[in-house]
Chains A and B, each alone.
Chain A
Amino acid sequence: MSTTTTKIDNRAEVLDAARAALTPEIVAFIEECTADEHVHSHLIRVLHKVQGHYGYLSAEQMDAVAQLLQVPTSRVTGVATFYHFFRLEPRGKYMLSVCLGTACYVKGAERIADKLQEELGIHFGETTKDKLFSLEATRCLGTCGLAPVVMIEDKVYGGMEPDQVPALIGKYAKMAQEEKKA
């Protein structure tokens, strides 16, 4: 970011840059929120909306939200880093969620988690270099009968064993490759 702007009063310039960092739909949504006297209470809704569209919250987008909502940026990033739900890094094409709820845990979810981290070469909360996979731990997915489970996007894989992990990852990698070719 440059350290100076061209005009002495840079308000319009800064707001234009903020609008350009988000989609027109999100900007309209934020403008609706600013009509409310309690603007600050809309911050989480707005961040949801931004993440819903982009899959994560970039620094540029958080700065834009701060300017458009007129909420201090330190508070925007404070909220974004407080809640587990918000992602600050772009997510991979496929989201892998390992259930670490009680039932899955006693059925060996930790071994599945270890194997996934080893195979993908990333930790929880990270994304593979090829941007294909993101890995996260979740709490109970409500499918305890299938424990231990791994969820990829919205598909659930039950009764997982560590040695099934490479094949499962391979299947999605291949899918992505074919999609790319097509």
Chain B
Amino acid sequence: MSEQQMVNMTIDGVNVNVAKGTTIMEAAERTLGIKIPRLCYHPKLSLQGSCRVCIVDVKGAPGYLTACSAQCTEGMEVQTNSPAIRQARRDIVELLLDNHPRACLTCERDANCELQNLAYSLGVRHRIFDGERKRFPIENSSVSVVRDAEKCILCGRCVRVCAEVQGVENLSQQSHGFKTFVAPAHNANMDESVCIQCGQCTAACPTAAFVEKSYAASVWKALADPAKHVVVHTAPAIRATVGEGFGMEPGTPAAGKMVTALRRLGFDKVFDTNFTADLTIIEEATEFLGRFAKGERLPLLTSCSPGWVNFMERFYPELIPNASSCRSPMSMMSSLIKTYYAEKAGIDPKDIFVVSVMPCTAKKFESRRPELCMPDGTPETDAVITTRELIYMIKSYGINMAELDDGDFDTPMGESTGAADIFGTTGGVLEAALRMAVEVINGAPPAQMEFIEVRAVDGLRVRELKVNDELTLRVGISNGLHNAKTLLDKVVKGEEEFHIIEIMACPGGCIGGGGQPYPPAGYTILDPKLLAKRASALYSIDAHKKLRSSNHNPAIQAIYADYLGEAGGEKAHHLLHTHYAPRLPRGIR
């Protein structure tokens, strides 16, 4: 670092000294705290330089330069703000607005839109230009994601996140000139393309060109129907992020307040998907230990992440036999609510409406898989809503969740161990499984519950974990499917061997899911600082729990004794396991 070449330059007349290769945008932010306006730029994605909003005036340059791409050089004199630059930026944004629906008041992202914020901050107060506007139909035929190409400003962030973070490359700019739009190949809908439904496009989009398909209306309707017994369950990652929607500092655990809010909304039962996260661990650890004993179908690939399951079916179908047959915690819970709970409570499953709150748009797709439907064809999970939709519903009811007292989940399917809480972050499922597997193999719980080696929010980790003197487990952890490819290619080619690979589709795991809140001010999606804060919320809940290994959950022990029988047994298999099949079109990897 000491060898790094520095350059002297001025930004807005102030002398600054930055490393050679720094862009003007980075230099202005780091040295003077000036955040130059931007749209297409994202620090974790490749440079595109297409929106031109970040232009600055560099003395001697033939025209304005884009601060996101122009690098600092010795003696450079940069002006980030002047009436002329402000006017030029305003013109650019006005031209974008001219080709954009005048629908802010009724738009999904009203008050939460980067284009709207930019228009405000640049002082756009009139619509000067008025010309022809592009016209496209809204594509809302898929179960997870809605695409509204009229709201697209062609910044390309969705295209880049889909290709560079997820390795899917389902989206691309199609056609040319005024008629350009972003879509999957052949303008297909998300279900018929190689889309894995992860929803990272909805998180990356600065406007509402991509949004999740909302099921809030069906939930309101069920809540208002006296004939319906409406049960909600919330994924591990929701408690780590839902507070952000109510101005709470990122990383503030909010399970108790969320439970109270859900009761106020009128849910008859508030269960915790954590309960079935514990159950998943019992089933998955049993499955792993069985395979390990026989030395077959290793590595075991985790299967909780529905974006990853979709990816596997389209991109790596040959690895289907390696995937855990365990249903995700969501689908285990919904299945148990409509069987075990219905039986116990004496309610006809047809009268139960199950809502799951997930950090994820791919869960919407999972809920509509035919193999996860009741015998009469109705879904076990009637509606999946994202964290964003839950925040909307609570606010829409007139509740400020931040001010509520803590409530407790309903029993018995609200009890969980710390192992379940950490499911929501990358490495968490593996750590939870290890806590139990080590105990089963060694006959005693691990000396240290925290497997610090597997904790981090970076995308790709390979670790060797010593279980005892004879046994070391080789494990892989990945988040962001582009990273999963790196590990899976090694497995497919037989270059490296693993016992278990945990794969979560979204960056950071479920805490960075495609249905999580739009980042609060000062953060962006994919931001490691934000992901680490959200992860710390889950680790702190875990650390404060008395029981931290899934097999010690008394409610889980009771459900096996009362109802399920043996872990991995016939009834458990019927209610808690599933199967996968290759899907076409096959993805290009």
By a CB distance below 8 angstroms, the chain A residues around B172 are 72, 74-75, 77-78
For chain B residues 167-188, which have a beta carbon within 8 Å of chain A? 169-176, 183-186
B348 at the interface (CB under 8 A from A): no
Residue from A1, A70, A75, A81 in contact with B585 in the complex, judged by beta carbons closer than 8 Å:
A1
A8 at the interface (CB under 8 A from B): yes
Instruction: Check B320 against A8 for contact (C-beta < 8 Å).
Output: yes
Does B586 touch A at the CB level, under 8 Å? yes
Contact A76–B185 (Cβ < 8 Å): yes
- B335-343, B418-426, B576-584: which one contacts chain A? B576-584
- B window 547-589: CB within 8 A of A: 581-588
From B163, B170, B320, B583, contact of A3 by CB (8 A): B583
Nearest Cβ in chain A — how far from B548, in angstroms? 37
> Could you pull out 24 A-B pairs where Cβ atoms are within 8 angstroms?
A2-B584, A3-B584, A4-B584, A10-B317, A10-B582, A11-B318, A59-B186, A62-B186, A63-B185, A72-B163, A72-B170, A72-B172, A72-B185, A72-B194, A72-B587, A73-B185, A74-B193, A75-B172, A76-B185, A77-B172, A77-B174, A78-B172, A82-B176, A84-B176
Asked if A73 contacts B318 (CB within 8 A), the reply is no
The verdict on A112 contacting chain B, using a C-beta distance below 8 Å, is no
A74 to chain B: closest residue by CB: B172
CB-CB nearest in chain B for A83: B176
The chain A residue with its CB closest to the CB of B162 is A74
**Cα distance, A76 to B249, chains bound together (Å):** 44
Q: Does B321 contact A (CB under 8 A)?
A: yes
Mark contacts of A42-85 with chain B using CB atoms, 8 A cut-off: 1 yes-contact digit, 0 otherwise: 00000000000000000100110011001111111110011110
For residue A5, CB closer than 8 A to chain B, the reply is yes
Residues of chain B having any CB pair with chain A under 8 Å: 163, 169-176, 183-186, 193-194, 317-318, 320-321, 581-588
Task: Report the bound CA distance from A82 to B179 in whole Å.
Answer: 10
CA of A59 to CA of B585, assembled, Å: 12
Query: In the complex where A8-B320, A77-B172 touch, is A66 in contact with B186 (Cβ < 8 A)?
Result: no
CA distance A78 to B176 in the complex (A): 9
Contacts A73-B185, A73-B194, A74-B185 hold; do A10 and B169 have CB atoms under 8 A apart? no
Which of the residues B185, B321, B587 comes within 8 Å of A62, measured between beta carbons? B185
Closest 7 CB pairs of A and B: A9-B318, A74-B172, A73-B185, A78-B172, A72-B169, A77-B185, A74-B185
Q: What separation, in Å, do the CA atoms of A51 and B218 have in the docked complex?
A: 48
Query: What residues of chain A have their CB less than 8 Å away from a CB belonging to chain B?
Result: 1-5, 7-11, 14, 59, 62-63, 66-67, 70-78, 81-84
Contact among B183, B193, B588 for A67, CB-based, below 8 A: B588
Q: A75 near B169 (CB under 8 angstroms)?
A: yes
B170 touches A74 (CB 8 A): yes
Please indicate the chain B residues that have their CB under 8 angstroms from the CB of A71 in the complex.
Answer: 588
Q: Shortest distance in angstroms between A123's beta carbon and chain B's nearest beta carbon?
A: 14
A76, B585: Cα distance in complex, Å: 14
A78-B174 contact, Cβ under 8 Å, with A8-B317, A9-B318: yes
Question: Once bound together, how far apart are the Cα atoms of A77 and B37, in whole Å?
Answer: 33
Q: What is the CA–CA distance of A51 and B211 in the complex, to the nearest angstrom?
A: 36
Q: Chain B contacts of A5 at CB under 8 A?
A: 317, 582, 584
